[in-house]
């Protein structure tokens, strides 16, 4: 799983491995050079050559280690960048229903925390694992050359350490994965709480929310502490095992020197190799624990790969380009039934509706009637289960997503603000090539130009620094839809948070848009309903009735109840 992230950079990884092996090989040669120095003490030989060799080994080993750190550091950052960009691309291009299965805080956690854990696991841990194995095998081989009885004692101790690794390391991976999942839950709940901070304070729920999110933090910490405990055991076993081996080697080796069957220089060289075992075994233990964390992170990242990505420009190969029928309705739903993923009931059932080329259409009905579902289908956020939708007489399935969505301006009920400047937000749909006077014109329509002019940077002011109210955010979203409208305006109650004067100004702009194209509004306010040319009444996923306000008021009891409720709400 980790290899899939490192594979595109295998040449750079190979260079890092080569540099690591070089450093390991030079380190392995140092005890032999030290033995050469010690052997020369008793025969009055020149020490210049062995000391020069030791210096050369030191310089080359240091240079190799430095090069390895630079190569692997850059590689790690590149892998993190690739993983993050892949996640970002996947979440923005995936089908809406699949994206909504993840909470926003969890998405952020996967793109930040998980990718950081991936960095070390996919680079340095792989190299450390290879270096550790080579260093361990090389050290044991050179020990065998120096003295076989001492080696047998060393192997027994190392076998106990390896056995402990085999038992403990899977538990580290389990704890790390649970910790990362809890951290994702913490991010999601904290983000939701901060977003609703006004409601939290108004409900005197600070302590309750603090404790709820705090429990998520405690859960993550508990799993992390369990992983730390296992890691500590691994390190203790590794370090203690090596120290025990050195004590045994020193005692057994001194006894063999006293018997005259082992030279002092050989015992010193062997001890140096025993001390060198700390390096490979530490590298292996660190690599294994890091790999376990990385595998858990990679598993969470890979969980997003099942999401089906949209291609906005793709159209069926069998379809031919068509400008459509200028006499046909702008939009038409013909026998459309739709169901949300995982639901047993239909959200819409056999709906047939034609939207004229010009005019204002209001869609009304009780909660759950299917109003938002119609908007989602028109925007092609998901496809109907049965029936078809047409744009200028051309079925949606014969058009690309871009061809459909580029014909529409959409203002959703939550009116999100895009990070950036006011200009960025107003031109988010139309593009950056629109001159400033059109931006100011849209802001004038929604009665926000006066406030924007008071800001230090005008339309180039950051929205994060302007303390926009909910109504002002809604006005920016409406202004975004009014800049070069493409002919179809979809409004999910775009005036819900506005005062009467501003609502009247925006309603006038909507009326202008309805004279040049079609405006479709999900209506929750009486004024919106009264201004519509045609009203579509939905109930339980079906069209119950449609007509003008006067027609529906005279013949439909549900509509009369709806209007009565709106009047009460308006008062």
Q: What is the pLDDT of residues 391-402, one digit of tens each?
A: 999 999 899 888
pLDDT of 318 > 70? The answer is no
Between 59-73, 282-296, 532-546, the lowest mean confidence (pLDDT) is in 282-296
Rounded to the nearest 10 degrees, what angle do helices 264-276 and 124-146 cross at? 160
User: Does residue 305 surpass a pLDDT of 70?
Assistant: yes
> How far is residue 131's CA from residue 123's CA, in Å, rounded to a whole number?
12
Q: Name the residue among 91, 88, 118, 152 with its Cα closest to residue 9.
A: 118
Among 369-373, 394-398, 503-507, the least confident range: 503-507
Instruction: Give the mean model confidence (pLDDT) for residues 345-374.
Output: 91
Angle (CA) 401-407-411 rounded to 5° is: 95
Please state which CATH number belongs to domain 331-569.
Answer: 3.40.50.300
CATH fold, domain 1-147+282-307, is ABC transporter transmembrane region fold (1.20.1560)
Greater confidence (43 vs 75) lies with 75
Mean pLDDT lowest among 69-73, 329-333, 352-356: 69-73
Q: Residue 59 pLDDT more than 50?
A: yes
Q: Which long-range contacts (CB under 8 A, 24 or more apart) does 558-565 make?
A: 558/366, 559/364, 559/535, 562/364, 562/365, 562/366, 562/537, 563/526, 563/529
pLDDT of residue 386: 94
141 in Cβ contact with 32 (< 8 Å): no
Global pTM reads 0.70
Q: Is the pLDDT of residue 199 over 70?
A: no
Q: What is the band of 174 on the pLDDT scale with cuts at 50, 70, 90? A: confident
- Residue 202's pLDDT is 60
Mean pLDDT of 73-88: 80
pLDDT at 571: 37
Name the more confident of 501 and 394: 394
Taking 50 as the threshold, does the pLDDT of residue 3 lie above it?
Answer: yes
H-helix or E-strand spanning residue 335: strand 331-338
CA distances from 492 to 87, 477, 523, 524 (A): 29, 11, 7, 9
pLDDT score, position 226: 83
For the chain, the domains span 1-147+282-307, 148-261, 331-569
Q: Is 303 within 8 Å of 295 (Cβ atoms)?
A: no
What 3-state DSSP class applies to 14? helix
Residue 298 has pLDDT above 60, yes or no: yes
Tell me what the pLDDT averaged over the chain comes to. Answer: 81
Nearest to 420 by CA among 387, 372, 362, 459: 459
State mean pLDDT over 451-461. Answer: 89
Task: Check residues 102 and 14 and name the one with the higher pLDDT.
Answer: 14
Given a cut of 50, is residue 466 above it in pLDDT?
Answer: yes
Structure tokens that stand for 67 in this block: 């090069």
232-236, 412-416, 493-497: the lowest-pLDDT one: 493-497
Instruction: Answer yes or no: is pLDDT of 270 > 60.
Output: yes
- Determine how many CB atoms are found less than 10 A away from the CB of residue 82: 16
- The pLDDT value given to residue 496: 65
Check residue 147 and give its pLDDT. Answer: 85
User: Looking at residue 1, what is its pLDDT?
Assistant: 60
């Amino acid at each position: 799983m980790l290899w899939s992230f490192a594979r595109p950079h295998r040449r750079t990884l190979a260079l890092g491995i080569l540099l690591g092996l070089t450093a390991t090989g030079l380190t392995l040669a140092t005890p032999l050079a030290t033995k050469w120095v010690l052997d020369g003490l008793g025969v009055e030989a020149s020490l210049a050559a062995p000391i020069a060799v030791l210096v050369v080994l030191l310089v080359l080993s240091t240079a190799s280690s430095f090069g390895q750190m630079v190569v692997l550091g850059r590689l790690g950052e590149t892998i993190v960048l690739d993983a993050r960009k892949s996640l970002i691309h996947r979440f923005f291009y995936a089908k809406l229903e699949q994206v909504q299965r993840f909470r926003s805080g969890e998405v952020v956690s996967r793109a930040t925390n998980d990718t950081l854990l991936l960095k070390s696991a996919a680079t340095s841990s792989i190299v450390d694992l290879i270096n550790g194995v080579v260093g361990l095998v090389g050290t044991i081989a050179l020990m065998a050359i120096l003295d076989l009885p001492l080696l047998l004692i060393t192997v027994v101790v190392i076998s106990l350490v390896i056995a402990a690794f085999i038992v403990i390391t899977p538990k580290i991976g389990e704890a790390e994965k649970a910790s990362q999942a809890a951290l994702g839950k913490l991010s999601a709940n904290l983000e939701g709480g901060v977003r609703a901070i006004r409601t939290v304070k108004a409900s005197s729920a600070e302590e309750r929310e603090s404790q709820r999110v705090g429990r998520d933090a405690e859960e993550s910490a508990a799993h992390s502490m369990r992983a730390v405990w296992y890691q500590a055991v691994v390190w203790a076993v590794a370090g203690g095992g090596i120290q025990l081996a050195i004590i045994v080697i020193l005692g057994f080796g001194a006894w063999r020197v006293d018997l005259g069957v082992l030279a002092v220089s050989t015992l010193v060289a062997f001890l140096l190799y025993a001390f060198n075992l700390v390096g490979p075994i530490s590298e292996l233990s660190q690599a294994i624990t890091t790999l376990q964390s990385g595998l858990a992170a990679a598993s969470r990242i890979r969980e997003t790969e099942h999401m089906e990505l949209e291609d906005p420009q793709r159209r069926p190969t069998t379809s031919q380009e068509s400008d459509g029928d200028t006499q046909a309705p702008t939009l038409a739903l013909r026998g459309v039934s739709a169901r949300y993923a995982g639901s047993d009931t239909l959200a819409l059932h056999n709906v047939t509706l034609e939207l004229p080329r010009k005019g204002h259409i209001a869609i009304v009905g009780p909660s759950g009637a299917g109003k938002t579902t119609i908007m989602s289908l028109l925007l092609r956020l998901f496809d109907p289960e049965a029936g078809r939708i047409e744009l200028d007489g051309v079925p949606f399935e014969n058009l690309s997503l871009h061809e459909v969505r580029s014909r529409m301006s959409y203002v959703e009920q939550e009116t999100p603000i895009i990070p950036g400047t006011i200009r960025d937000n107003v031109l988010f749909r139309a593009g950056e090539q629109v001159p400033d006077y059109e931006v100011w014109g849209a802001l004038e329509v929604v009665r926000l130009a006066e406030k924007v002019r008071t800001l230090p940077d005008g339309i180039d002011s950051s929205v994060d620094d302007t303390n926009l109210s909910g109504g002002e955010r809604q006005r920016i979203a409406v202004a975004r839809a009014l800049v070069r409208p493409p002919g179809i305006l979809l409004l999910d109650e775009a005036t819900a948070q506005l005062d009467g004067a501003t609502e009247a100004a925006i309603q006038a702009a909507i009326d202008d848009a309805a004279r040049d194209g079609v405006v479709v509004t999900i209506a929750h306010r009486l004024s919106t309903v009264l201004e519509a040319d045609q009203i579509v009444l939905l109930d339980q996923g079906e069209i119950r009735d449609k007509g003008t306000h006067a027609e529906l008021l005279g013949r439909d009891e549900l509509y009369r109840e709806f209007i009565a409720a709106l009047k009460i709400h308006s008062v």
